[in-house]
Amino acid sequence: DFVELMEKITYQNWVRRLGKTKRNTVYYQVINLINKGCSADELIETVKKYADNKEFEQLIRADIYHSPAVKAILLRLEQESQDQSVVKQFHGRITVEHILPQKLKDEYWIQRFTPDVHQELVHKLGNLTLLSGVKNSAAQYYSFDRKKEIYEKRNKKVSFDLTKEILEEKEWTKDQILSRQERLVKKAMEIWSL
């Protein structure tokens, strides 16, 4: 499917932080091939030349929080986790939440994470989720139980399936983050590998 192919290369190149000229080169090549009447197979092979699954996976596994694509990645993973027969609409500001907070202030986190482990995991995909802006600023540096209460606050309703999954966890530890990291990276690679 052409749209899926273009989504894959667009996300890959975005996460890989290729410059605008390099990103646009792919699209110019595709347009030229279409204008020449090339086959779908030729289009696919040309686009694949611009992909780098290995680099993409390394970047998805790394500290992804500061990537300009992080919110788009989480939203696309959110879309993938939803019941496709239900169309959800999100209103207001959507923010990226660190479940394990960026600073170890609450005793809950201090007991479970050394500074080194905290630094290793805090910006990983497995520790990030989506929230409305109001909930994110309210969640701050609180304990995991308090954060879950805030995530659920409005009429016991959580908008994002990725965040609902977190509510099912009794603890938020290194093991939970690493397990979720592997699952989300695997899903990302299923969606965007070329």
15-62 confidence digits (pLDDT tens): 999 989 999 999 999 999 999 999 999 999 999 999 999 999 999 999
More confident residue, 77 or 90: 77
Does 83 have pLDDT greater than 90? no
173 lies in the same domain as 123: yes
Produce one character per residue of 128-161: b if its CB has 16 or more CB atoms within 10 Å, e if not.
bbbbbeebbebbebbbbeebbebbeeeeeebbbb
Clarify whether residues 89 and 7 are in a common domain.
no
pLDDT at 138: 65
Domain co-membership, 93 together with 175: yes
Residue 76 lies in a domain: yes
pLDDT tops 90 at residue 89: no
Confidence of residue 132 (pLDDT cuts 50, 70, 90): confident
Is 145 part of any domain? Answer: yes
Distance CA 170, CA 22 (A): 45
Please indicate, yes or no, if residue 41 is contained in any of the structural domains: yes
Q: What mean pLDDT is reported for the chain?
A: 90
Range of the domain at 75: 70-192
What does the pLDDT average to over 128-132?
A: 89
Residues 173 and 132 in one domain: yes
Task: Please state the domain count of the chain.
Answer: 2
Q: Are 9 and 91 in a shared domain?
A: no
Same-domain pairing of 22 and 95: no
Whether residues 45 and 129 fall in one domain: no
Q: What is the pLDDT of residue 1?
A: 82
Is 77 in the same domain as 150? Answer: yes
Q: For 56-93, b where at least 16 C-beta lie within 10 A, e where not — what string?
A: bbebbbebbeebebbeebbbbbbeeeeeeeeeeeeeee
Mean of the pLDDT values across residues 98-126? 96
Residues 104 and 150 in one domain: yes
For residues 74 and 44, membership in a common domain is answered with no
Q: Is residue 57 part of a domain?
A: no
Residues 128 and 74 in one domain: yes
- pLDDT bucket at 155, cuts 50 / 70 / 90: very low
- Give a yes or no: residue 124 inside a domain: yes
* Within-domain flag for 60: no
112 and 180 housed in the same domain: yes
Query: pTM for the complete prediction?
Result: 0.89
Cα separation, 72 vs 189, in Å, equals 15
